[in-house]
Amino acid sequence: MATREVFWNISPLGELLFYLLALVAIAIFAYGIYGHVRRILQGKKVAFTVRPLWAKLSAAVASIAANKTIVRHDASAGVMHFLIMWGFVVLFIGTVIVTIEYDLFQKILGREYGFWVGSFFLGYELILDILGVLFLVGLVWALIRRYGLKPPQLSWKPLDLALPLWLLLIGVTGFLVEGLRLAATASELGYNPRWSWAGFLISQGVRGFPVETLRAWHLALWWLHGFLALGWIAYLPYAPKVMHILSAGVNLFFQDMRPRGRLEVLDVEGAFERNEVLGFQTLKDLTRKDFLDLASCTECGRCEANCPAHLSGKILSPREIILELRAHANEEFPAFGKPKEHKQIIGYSIKPEEIWACTTCMACVEVCPVFIDPLNKILELRRNEVMIQDKYPAGFTDVFKGMDGRGNPWDMPASERLAWMKGLEVPIAANLTPSPFPKGKGNSSPSLGEGTGERFEYLFFVGCAASFDPRTQKIARSVVKILQHAGIKFAVLGEEEGCTGDPARRIGHEYIFQILAKQNIETFNNYNVKKILTICPHCFNTLKNEYPALGGQYEVVHHTQLIEQLLKDDRLKLTKEIPATIAYHDSCYLGRYNRIFDAPRNILKNIPGVKLIEMERHRERGMCCGAGGGLMWLEEEPSKRVNELRVKQAQAALDGHLRQTPTGESEQPRRSLVASACPFCMIMLEDGIKSKNVEFENKDIAELVAEALA
Ligand code: SF4
Ligand code: SF4
């Protein structure tokens, strides 16, 4: 009959000993898991399930099964992980099947055989050998990748070598045991050994040895295999790197499905009244999801490899943020006993310079295969530093003063908000819309007065950068030209516009953010605003994703979205040729935060004469310009400037394209350009272009469209 004896060549005493060892391993495993669960439950509760349970479950299972999150950003690592993961899973299922067969059917129910016979058994043998070999291939690949190819984001700690070798040894000894058994039982086997093809190949190599020798080798290797496998089970919860086998799926299940670019609203005044902490001061302030994040990190380093702060030589590494917090958590929340005294995170496990180097670009969140969010931890640490400890880089003092006093981080008077529109006919909302409150009766606004009664479709929210910065003012002027060309009815707020509050929020000053946001919402509502057009992705993200939590619900569009739509509707015709090779730079807040990748590219493709090329890092993996998170107002060390790194990448793409274009192919000289769709990016790229002394222009999409209009 096609089956085999489960404990072949093992004495009853050996079998008993194995069961005792298995119990010990399971107990050690359970103790480790208990420690993790206990630590996670110390966190604050979070409630953000916005999808039905089954939808979250199926999404998590599908994502894990296909290794989607790994393959998406690194195909080679993805295939390697796919082989190891599926090999491991199938071998584990195989062990469970044997356990059910032997313990339930044969021991408890007293049958000679259960279901592990005949064609089921043969299929089992075939599949397990295939997946077992693929498992070994994946492990060898992992070792070659780490120690041969040496991607910079991988570490080379002793455990990084020991863990895959351990698994490799489990796999190899498993096949050797199978081969020796097949060789020793060849004459009495009830099935064709080729079904166990990997073991069969090994058996062919040892078939000349006496049966007693084969049995002795089998016994020794069986125990070695058993020790290694049980040891692995016992050690699993204690090896943080490996713990992701269990925790990653849970973390995927509990991932926050709300818009990415949204920060939680804090009750700042209430917290002050109640003498509560704001942000993360100690580990007591972390949520359960944060602790789950810490337990799930595989230490793969993808976040670090994509972090602009790290790449430009700064102290920050999102991986280290997670690992430092994890080590801190393990220390303060032991598996048994009371939690230890809670130390302030900043200064103990994390240095202040680490959190102040973050541009909030979200690249780390984007690439993490297990949906860990290092950014939210950095922002919560900033909130505590700013609002409770009153500690932040000196460069932010004037930013806060400007936003608090004059409603903008440039600290400019409101009257200057009209400067960019000099010479243009730009409708101002206060001059169009009659006030709902006649002057003098409850209307304290200086500008809400007698308007013409003309309605506008879009409120053009210019933003502080394009209002005050001379270079980016040209973007606002170009947008006005486009809107007027397409016959769109719009208005600006002029002096009534205030900063959305994004820089304050990302630096950590929630209080200033909320004051500014509430003022803007009041102004929008006074004018019955329904649609907002913005040229700044930071404004766009805040107005679209963060104002709703404060009562401001509007249809918000970025100028690239509107222009794309106007082109589709034939309301704009781009007829003037721009002979240029253009590399498009994705703004983090437009692209990664809000998934607007195609609109800017589609517009560029519509401009006659434009050849659109991509930089190596683009779309989801686009590299930050260095301005986000309030960092535009901080001085960077000259050798560690993110914007210069990005300019170098743009130059490499443009030069590369030039080299590939055979001489004489173009009839006329082409301009080399980097296009952007964000005033912050423009300021940073302009600065980088000047300091790197490179020869290409930097234009906003709106400027190019305005140029291409007849
Ligand atoms: S958000 Fe960007 S800058 Fe900040 S840690 Fe993540 S990758 Fe680095
Ligand atoms: S946080 Fe995510 S991307 Fe970063 S090392 Fe950990 S698992 Fe990898």
Residue type, 23: L
CA 9 to ligand 1 center in whole angstroms: 56
CA 300 to ligand 2 center in whole angstroms: 5
CA 346 to ligand 2 center in whole angstroms: 21
CA distance 41 to 678: 42
Residue type, 329: A
Would the pLDDT of 237 be above 60? Answer: yes
CA distance 317 to 155: 13
CA 359 to ligand 1 center in whole angstroms: 6
User: Same domain, yes or no, for 246 and 280?
Assistant: no
The closest-lying atom of ligand 2 relative to the alpha carbon of residue 296 is 7
CA 380 to ligand 1 center in whole angstroms: 14
Would the pLDDT of 56 be above 70? Answer: no
pLDDT, residue 446, reads 42
Contact 358, 378 (CB under 8 A): yes
User: Same domain, yes or no, for 119 and 209?
Assistant: yes
Q: Which ligand is nearest to the CA of 367?
A: 2
Would the pLDDT of 350 be above 50? Answer: yes
3-state secondary structure 57-119: HHHHHHHHHHCHHHHCCCHHHHHHHHHHHHHHHHHHHHHHHHHHHHHHHHHHCCCCCCCCCHH
Last residue of a domain, one of 329, 355, 388: 388
Is residue 539 a part of any domain in this protein? yes
Tell me the mean pLDDT in the region 26-42.
93
CA 584 to ligand 1 center in whole angstroms: 21
Judging by beta carbons within 10 Å of its beta carbon (0-12, 13-18, 19+), is residue 405 exposed, middle or buried? exposed
Contact 355, 381 (CB under 8 A): yes
Residue type, 589: Y
CA distance 606 to 574: 7
Q: At 159, is the pLDDT very low, low, confident or very high (cuts 50, 70, 90)?
A: confident
User: Same domain, yes or no, for 368 and 445?
Assistant: no
Which three-class secondary structure state does DSSP give residue 684?
helix
Would the pLDDT of 447 be above 70? Answer: no
Would the pLDDT of 445 be above 70? Answer: no
Last residue of a domain, one of 355, 388, 421: 388
Is residue 427 a part of any domain in this protein? yes
- List, for residues 503-519, the tens digit of each pLDDT value: 999 999 999 999 999 99
Number of domains in the chain: 3
Is residue 5 a part of any domain in this protein? no
Residue percentage of the chain with pLDDT more than 70: 92
Contact 532, 543 (CB under 8 A): yes
- List, for residues 208-230, the tens digit of each pLDDT value: 999 999 999 999 999 999 999 99
Average pLDDT of the chain to the nearest whole number: 90
- List, for residues 165-208, the tens digit of each pLDDT value: 999 999 999 999 999 999 999 988 989 999 999 999 999 999 89
CA 384 to ligand 2 center in whole angstroms: 24
pLDDT, residue 255, reads 78
Contact 581, 620 (CB under 8 A): no
CA distance 87 to 82: 8
Tell me the mean pLDDT in the region 251-256.
80
- List, for residues 297-309, the tens digit of each pLDDT value: 989 999 999 999 9
Nearest CA to ligand 1 atom 6: 364
| Phi and psi torsions of 356, nearest 5° | -85, 0
Contact 618, 306 (CB under 8 A): no
- Lining ligand 2 with CB less than 6 A are 297-303, 318-319, 322, 367-370, 372, 374
CA distance 179 to 455: 83
For a substitution probing ligand 2, which of 317, 372, 377 has the most ligand atoms within 8 Å of its CB? 372
364 lines ligand 1 (CB under 6 A): yes
Which three-class secondary structure state does DSSP give residue 185?
coil
- The CATH number given to whatever domain includes residue 378 is 1.10.1060.10
476 lines ligand 1 (CB under 6 A): no
- The more confidently predicted of residues 691 and 562 is 562
pLDDT, residue 582, reads 96
- The more confidently predicted of residues 46 and 402 is 402
Is residue 280 a part of any domain in this protein? yes
CA distance 493 to 539: 14
User: Same domain, yes or no, for 384 and 466?
Assistant: no
Q: Which two tokens stand for residue 299?
A: 């230490």
Is residue 528 a part of any domain in this protein? yes
Question: First and final CA of the chain: distance in angstroms?
Answer: 85
Question: How many CA atoms within 13 Å lie on the side-chain side of 393?
Answer: 21
Q: At 68, is the pLDDT very low, low, confident or very high (cuts 50, 70, 90)?
A: low
Nearest CA to ligand 1 atom 7: 307
User: Same domain, yes or no, for 419 and 381?
Assistant: no
Q: At 655, is the pLDDT very low, low, confident or very high (cuts 50, 70, 90)?
A: confident
Which three-class secondary structure state does DSSP give residue 196?
helix
User: Same domain, yes or no, for 374 and 435?
Assistant: no
User: Same domain, yes or no, for 91 and 222?
Assistant: yes
CA distance 266 to 48: 16
Q: At 96, is the pLDDT very low, low, confident or very high (cuts 50, 70, 90)?
A: very high
Nearest CA to ligand 2 atom 3: 368
Beta-carbon contacts of residue 57 (< 8 Å; ≥ 6 apart): 253
Nearest CA to ligand 1 atom 5: 318
pLDDT, residue 708, reads 96
Residue type, 540: F
Which of 327, 319, 355, 366 shows the shortest CA–CA distance to 153?
A: 319
Beta-carbon contacts of residue 199 (< 8 Å; ≥ 6 apart): 129, 175, 178, 179, 181, 182, 193
User: Same domain, yes or no, for 416 and 376?
Assistant: no
Q: What is the DSSP string of 510-566?
A: HHHHHHHHHHHHHHHHHTT--EEEES-HHHHHIIIIIGGGGT---EEEEHHHHHHHH
360 lines ligand 1 (CB under 6 A): yes
Is residue 266 a part of any domain in this protein? no
358 lines ligand 1 (CB under 6 A): yes
Tell me the mean pLDDT in the region 370-379.
94
Q: Which ligand is nearest to the CA of 361?
A: 1
Contact 678, 589 (CB under 8 A): yes
User: Same domain, yes or no, for 239 and 317?
Assistant: no
User: Same domain, yes or no, for 572 and 454?
Assistant: yes
User: Same domain, yes or no, for 580 and 462?
Assistant: yes
Residue 428 DSSP label: B
Which residues are registered as beta bridge partners of 60? none
CA distance 703 to 459: 20
Q: From the CB of residue 80, how many other CB atoms can be counted at a distance below 10 Å?
A: 23
Which residues are registered as beta bridge partners of 676? 700
Contact 684, 632 (CB under 8 A): yes
Which residues are registered as beta bridge partners of 674? 583, 698
Q: At 560, is the pLDDT very low, low, confident or very high (cuts 50, 70, 90)?
A: very high
- List, for residues 674-687, the tens digit of each pLDDT value: 999 999 999 999 99
- The CATH number given to whatever domain includes residue 156 is 1.20.950
Q: Which two tokens stand for residue 199?
A: 């073991």
| Phi and psi torsions of 659, nearest 5° | -65, -35
Q: At 49, is the pLDDT very low, low, confident or very high (cuts 50, 70, 90)?
A: low
Last residue of a domain, one of 222, 253, 284: 253
User: Same domain, yes or no, for 203 and 221?
Assistant: yes
Q: Which two tokens stand for residue 277?
A: 């902490």
CA distance 351 to 345: 9
Q: At 499, is the pLDDT very low, low, confident or very high (cuts 50, 70, 90)?
A: very high
Would the pLDDT of 131 be above 90? Answer: yes
- The more confidently predicted of residues 361 and 53 is 361
- The more confidently predicted of residues 692 and 665 is 692
Would the pLDDT of 53 be above 70? Answer: no
Residue identified by tokens 């102004």 is 523
The alpha carbons of the chain give a radius of gyration, in whole angstroms, of 31
In the sheet that holds 697-700, the strands lie side by side as 610-613, 580-584, 671-676, 697-700
Provide the domain limits for residue 646: 398-708
Is residue 630 a part of any domain in this protein? yes
Is residue 265 a part of any domain in this protein? no
Contact 53, 254 (CB under 8 A): no
CA 240 to ligand 2 center in whole angstroms: 12
